[in-house]
């Protein structure tokens, strides 16, 4: 993303509050300042060792697992595109498209039984884990994942948890923001 400032991975301590004096919303963990994320449009963070990425797009915050459900590509390096009226992150490795709102994988398919088949966007179903996100007093908070439901992205989230071989920390795509 030309001209964008990227924030470094932030380790999140589940037992500390954002500033030491504020109380976090119940069940949520501080990941960053609204102003910083709006400026950079994205931030990577860890919750319970799990890497997530927070995007700010068209006035909304979105949080999802940082590794693509397909082959573990770094979604923090992908571009956001509007596809069929939905904001999607495009994985930089294999161009898989994932909706920011629901985590659905999208693909262009055709119906060969139509006389003049035309490609149409279709859903593969929910593939990427989406994390609940909220803001309060200029701070952004994300809820830890509900692991009672499985998503395809869980495989790569677990594989690269806590500094795995392809963890975001080991990539040099970020710059410090003071």
pLDDT in tens, 23-42: 578 889 999 999 999 999 99
pLDDT in tens, 90-139: 999 999 999 999 999 999 999 889 999 899 999 999 999 999 999 999 99
The continuous run of DSSP H or E covering 159 comes out as: helix 154-159
Q: From 3.20.20.70, 2.102.10.10, 2.60.120.1440, 3.40.190.10, which CATH number describes the 7-170 domain? A: 2.102.10.10
Rounded to two decimals, the pTM is: 0.78
Length of the chain: 178
Give the tokens for residue 28.
């949520």
Q: Over the range 51-63, which residues count as b (16 or more CB within 10 Å of their CB) and which as e?
A: bbbbbbeeeebbb
pLDDT in tens, 4-24: 444 444 444 333 333 444 557
């Amino acid at each position: 993303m030309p001209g964008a400032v990227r924030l470094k991975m932030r380790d999140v301590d589940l037992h500390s509050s954002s500033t030491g004096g504020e109380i976090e919303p119940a069940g949520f963990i501080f990941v960053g300042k609204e102003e910083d994320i709006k400026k950079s449009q994205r931030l990577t963070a860890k919750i319970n060792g799990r890497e997530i990425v927070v995007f700010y797009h068209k006035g909304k915050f979105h949080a999802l697992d940082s590794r693509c459900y397909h082959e573990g590509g770094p979604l923090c390096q992908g571009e956001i595109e509007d596809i069929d009226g939905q904001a999607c992150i495009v994985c930089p490795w294999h161009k898989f498209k994932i909706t920011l709102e629901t985590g659905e994988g999208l693909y262009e398919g055709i119906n060969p039984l139509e006389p003049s088949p035309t490609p149409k966007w279709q859903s593969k179903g929910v593939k990427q884990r989406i994390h609940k996100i909220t803001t309060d007093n200029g701070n952004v908070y994300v809820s830890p994942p509900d692991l009672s439901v499985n998503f395809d992205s869980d495989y790569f989230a677990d594989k690269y948890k806590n500094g795995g071989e392809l963890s975001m920390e080991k990539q040099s795509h970020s710059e410090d923001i003071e």
